[in-house]
Structure 1
Amino acid sequence: MDKQIEVGAQRLDESPDGIIEEGSTEARNRAAGRRRRIARSAVASALAKVTSVGTALISVPLTLNYLGPERFGMWMTMSSLVAFLSFADFGLGNGLLSAVAAANGRDDRAAIKKLVSSAYFVLSLIAVAILCMLAVTYSLVPWYRLFNVQSDLARSEVAPSVATLICCFAAAVPLGVVQRTQLGLQQGYMASLWQCGSSILGLGCVLFAIRQEAPLPILILAYVGGPLVVSVANGLFFFGVLEGDIAPSYRSVTRAALRAIGSTGLLFLTLQLVAAATYMSDSIIIAQILGASAVTGYAVPEKLFSLIGSVLAMGVGPLWAAHGEAIARGDREWALRTLKLSMSIAAAAAAIAALILVPTAPWLLKLWVGHAVSAPLFLLLGLGLWKVLEAAGLALAMFLNGARIVGFQVAVAVATALMAVTLKIVFVHEIGIAGSVWATIVSYAALTLLPCYVFRKRILMVVK
């Protein structure tokens, strides 16, 4: 059993030898089942996204008016801190997702239990380590200086607010096992529906805290703690009622399972860090070269175009687990056919959205932020083209993730990052803010999409 679990990031040759014939009834039934699960997950993900955005639109003006600019800014800065801490699971969540999808393709429930148990054990240790680091640094760090707050009220609230936020984050690290397991089993629709409840409960708790005139630490606890309650309920229902045979158990923790998750997880962590350096460096580079005020002219239009990627991610995201399960079962023709279809549909949808947004963006920006931002046409064209390339790349990434071809992704991502950051510095100097997105386009096309096309036969050999 442990031998079956211990599958390397690129060792798909250890999948079951029996390949299902493409035209068989069994293959058709499984393909239809995958399509249904993908559709349910996409719809549920869209509902969760709408709920999340809706609750944010309601909560932001309420909390801004309640807290005031300084304390609200402190809260937003802390939210950015949580985004940075999202790397704290060392990629184990993504490693678990891929490993569960592969084990599900082998119908190996015992292996899934070992994977879930091992991931929960390690992530719980990471959560404890985070809390220990907080305990050591809490009284040593001048938090009010770190957040640059001036008022006495803000200074008195900043340290307990940070402690509250980090404690809630630490608790959320092992609870993420539930969602990753659901995604790996192609039950992402369940995770999304629970997320809807999480957003609604979080908003309700915030409204109650504001009505009680609670201090900022309590407001943070209401905003973050409410969703934690939902995550706990999701775990109890999923592992206690629906999938009791794979519920985490200390006795099921194995070294083989830890290696299976960790080997892929570390690659995913590297991939996430490199991608962050590539695609989140725009504002930093623009600020350093053109000044902080120039960042607004880039960041606001970019947020408008980012809606394209957010929407497409809802439909493409469920393909990760579907590809992993299909390849493990031997339904390889389905995976290849779905790859080509998903890339075509994603790129076409992004192109249509970009063709609509590019000419209407000036009007939409004026409607949204007034005359504060005026985006040049060259920037808008670049953002539109980038979203088309990004959409095709996202569909390709879901296939590569499902096939556990992560090492190749890391290699091209590192090369892309080095070229992108270098070109951004040069292009922003020469072109202005539009140079940042055009540098991304050139680098991504040359060192990510082109290598995938050149080495496509070798990549496809993994699943043939």
Structure 2
Amino acid sequence: MESDATARDGHTSQRERRIAKSALASAFAKLVSVSTALVSVPLTLHYLGAERYGMWMVMSSLVAFLSFADLGIGNGLLSSVASAHGRDDRAGIRTLVSSAYLVLSLIAVAVLTILAICYPFVTWYRIFNVQSELARAEAGPAVAVLIGCFALAIPVGVVQRTQMGLQKGYMMSLWQAAASVLGLFGVLLAIHLKAPLPFLVLAYVGAPLLAGVANNIVFFGSLERDIAPDRYSVSRAAIRTLTGTGFLFLVLQLVAAATYMSDNFIIAHKLGASSVADYAVPERLFALISLVVAMVVAPLWPAYGEAIARGDRIWVARTLKRSLLLSAGTAALGSTFLVITAPWILELWVGRAVSPPFLLLLGLGLWKVVEAVGVALAMFLNGMSVIGFQLVAAFFTAAVAITLKLFFIDQVGIAGSVWATLISFSAFTLIPALILRARIFRTGE
């Protein structure tokens, strides 16, 4: 019994050190990302103008919708690797990595093929509701660059999910920081050369792709060669596991994207692309709160999975309680500060290019607090592999949120979008998740 307790304490200590390292590295990566955004947003806003910038923001939102293109296998890989890590099964991890590479490479080929077939038949500018000749001409090529780079990044992302599953997210974060710097240089060069929008998009999505390729080479080629993918380790059983778990994550991603990333699309179609900037720029400012919260809680997903595999439920319960309090407190402080100071910050940042109403700022502030608690709970539920509950909650949240957005935007303008999200998420996701958490620890399920 004493040796078991000693081993458990050792695993707990290692787990918490990995969480701390991942959080610190994530903080550095987020700081770099935010810094590059602070430089690039006002430059691109003034360079592109309201309409073309609004189109770019819609494309940025499209990235979130495209995240489902891996069929949820990336998240399934993360969970499976975390569980195998908890069992100290290195051979199993290699099988999972190899199988994920094969499936995701096939998906990337399929996405590129579909793009090539559909591209000539789609009137792309109508998706963005743009009017100027320049914006109409740039819409199609910009989308092609965006989707093409994203498709290539699908199998490249295996290394990031593997690093997260092994609780080595700090490696991923350092590469993301490098990608942010590279992307900024690309954007600055494109603006200096007066390049069209497709080149700005290439800088935006191409930098993470290059960083991801380099990460694969270093991680699997040097640091973790014993789990590097090879064709002999591909397993049908592993493919079934990844696709089965991945399908659940896929549906969850799709519903979440429709709920939380639809704002720019709905505003563009309701009020025109030129109105998107008034929502998107303040939302980016408040997104700093989400970045800080994610920095802290994201490493907990694989840590929960590994701890559960080792039977360390006491650590899970204690850590979840702390993460909920820390997430809510951090978001509340950040939101209060930004609701008060956002008008001055935005004027310093982008001048008078945007003028958000107070109702929007207040809604964004409240939403970030609720979202922070929800994210902390989601990391716990993912680690517990409780996906079915999240799916049901997400479906109800999406249905109500989108309906309310369409109605509220007509009634109160752009602020209606975030209030619709806040109300629906609180009622159909947050409250039920808190009830489920209490029941899990009360019954020991």
TM superposition score normalised by structure 2: 0.86
1:354 partnered with 2:335: yes
CA 1:292/1:45 → structure 2, altered by over 3 Å: closer, same or farther?
same
Aligned partner (choices 373, 377, 384) of residue 355 of structure 2: 373
Please report how far the alpha carbon of residue 152 of structure 1 lies from its aligned counterpart in structure 2 after TM superposition. Answer: 7.8
Please report how far the alpha carbon of residue 438 of structure 1 lies from its aligned counterpart in structure 2 after TM superposition. Answer: 3.7
Aligned partner (choices 178, 189, 193) of residue 197 of structure 1: 178
Aligned-partner residue type, residue 91 of structure 2: A
Please report how far the alpha carbon of residue 43 of structure 1 lies from its aligned counterpart in structure 2 after TM superposition. Answer: 1.4
Query: Bigger shift: 235-244 or 141-150?
Result: 141-150
CA distance in 1, matches of 2:384, 2:244: 14
Query: Bigger shift: 325-334 or 174-183?
Result: 325-334
Query: Bigger shift: 380-389 or 230-239?
Result: 380-389
Aligned partner (choices 360, 363, 379) of residue 382 of structure 1: 363
Deviations 1:140-180 (A, max 9, x none): 4455776758658984x766555444332222110000111
Secondary structure, counterpart of 1:248 in structure 2: coil
- Which residue does the alignment assign to 1:126? 107
Please report how far the alpha carbon of residue 428 of structure 1 lies from its aligned counterpart in structure 2 after TM superposition. Answer: 5.0
5 Å-filtered alignment, 1:155-166, equals 155=137, 162-166=143-147
5 Å-filtered alignment, 1:63-142, equals 78-141=59-122
Aligned partner (choices 315, 326, 329) of residue 296 of structure 2: 315
Please report how far the alpha carbon of residue 300 of structure 1 lies from its aligned counterpart in structure 2 after TM superposition. Answer: 4.5
Aligned partner (choices 185, 196, 199) of residue 166 of structure 2: 185
Please report how far the alpha carbon of residue 440 of structure 1 lies from its aligned counterpart in structure 2 after TM superposition. Answer: 3.0
5 Å-filtered alignment, 1:55-454, equals 55-59=36-40, 78-141=59-122, 155=137, 162-205=143-186, 221=202, 224-283=205-264, 298-368=279-349, 369-370=351-352, 372-376=354-358, 378-427=359-408, 434-454=415-435
CA 1:286/1:220 → structure 2, altered by over 3 Å: closer, same or farther?
closer
CA distance in 2, matches of 1:293, 1:152: 14
Query: Bigger shift: 207-216 or 22-31?
Result: 207-216
CA distance in 1, matches of 2:59, 2:266: 22
Please report how far the alpha carbon of residue 346 of structure 1 lies from its aligned counterpart in structure 2 after TM superposition. Answer: 0.7
Please report how far the alpha carbon of residue 461 of structure 1 lies from its aligned counterpart in structure 2 after TM superposition. Answer: 7.2
CA 1:434/1:83 → structure 2, altered by over 3 Å: closer, same or farther?
closer
Q: Is the 8 A contact 2:64 2:257 kept in 1?
A: no
Please report how far the alpha carbon of residue 371 of structure 1 lies from its aligned counterpart in structure 2 after TM superposition. Answer: 8.3
- Which residue does the alignment assign to 1:16? none
CA distance in 2, matches of 1:291, 1:160: 21
CA 1:196/1:413 → structure 2, altered by over 3 Å: closer, same or farther?
same
Task: Give the gaps of 5 or more residues in structure 1.
Answer: 1-19
Q: Is the 8 A contact 2:408 2:417 kept in 1?
A: yes
TM superposition score normalised by structure 1: 0.82
CA 1:273/1:463 → structure 2, altered by over 3 Å: closer, same or farther?
farther
CA distance in 2, matches of 1:154, 1:367: 31
CA distance in 2, matches of 1:186, 1:262: 22
CA 1:336/1:153 → structure 2, altered by over 3 Å: closer, same or farther?
closer
How well do the aligned residues superpose, as a CA RMSD in angstroms? 3.5
Aligned length: 443
CA 1:365/1:66 → structure 2, altered by over 3 Å: closer, same or farther?
closer
CA distance in 1, matches of 2:9, 2:343: 48
Please report how far the alpha carbon of residue 182 of structure 1 lies from its aligned counterpart in structure 2 after TM superposition. Answer: 0.4
1:35 partnered with 2:5: no
Q: Is the 8 A contact 1:298 1:375 kept in 2?
A: no
Q: Is the 8 A contact 2:252 2:391 kept in 1?
A: yes
Aligned-partner residue type, residue 175 of structure 1: V
Please report how far the alpha carbon of residue 90 of structure 1 lies from its aligned counterpart in structure 2 after TM superposition. Answer: 1.2
Deviations 1:320-341 (A, max 9, x none): 1111111111111111110111
Please report how far the alpha carbon of residue 216 of structure 1 lies from its aligned counterpart in structure 2 after TM superposition. Answer: 6.3
CA distance in 2, matches of 1:325, 1:431: 46
Q: Is the 8 A contact 1:22 1:28 kept in 2?
A: no
Q: Is the 8 A contact 1:296 1:373 kept in 2?
A: no
5 Å-filtered alignment, 1:42-61, equals 42-59=23-40
Please report how far the alpha carbon of residue 80 of structure 1 lies from its aligned counterpart in structure 2 after TM superposition. Answer: 4.5
Deviations 1:405-436 (A, max 9, x none): 11111111112222333444555566665554
CA distance in 1, matches of 2:274, 2:2: 60
Aligned-partner residue type, residue 450 of structure 1: I
CA distance in 2, matches of 1:449, 1:75: 31
Q: Whose Rg is larger?
A: 1
CA 1:385/1:329 → structure 2, altered by over 3 Å: closer, same or farther?
same
CA distance in 1, matches of 2:135, 2:341: 44
Aligned-partner residue type, residue 97 of structure 2: V
Deviations 1:300-322 (A, max 9, x none): 44433332112111111111111
CA 1:290/1:179 → structure 2, altered by over 3 Å: closer, same or farther?
closer
Task: Give the gaps of 5 or more residues in structure 2.
Answer: none
Q: Is the 8 A contact 2:50 2:277 kept in 1?
A: no
- Which residue does the alignment assign to 1:17? none
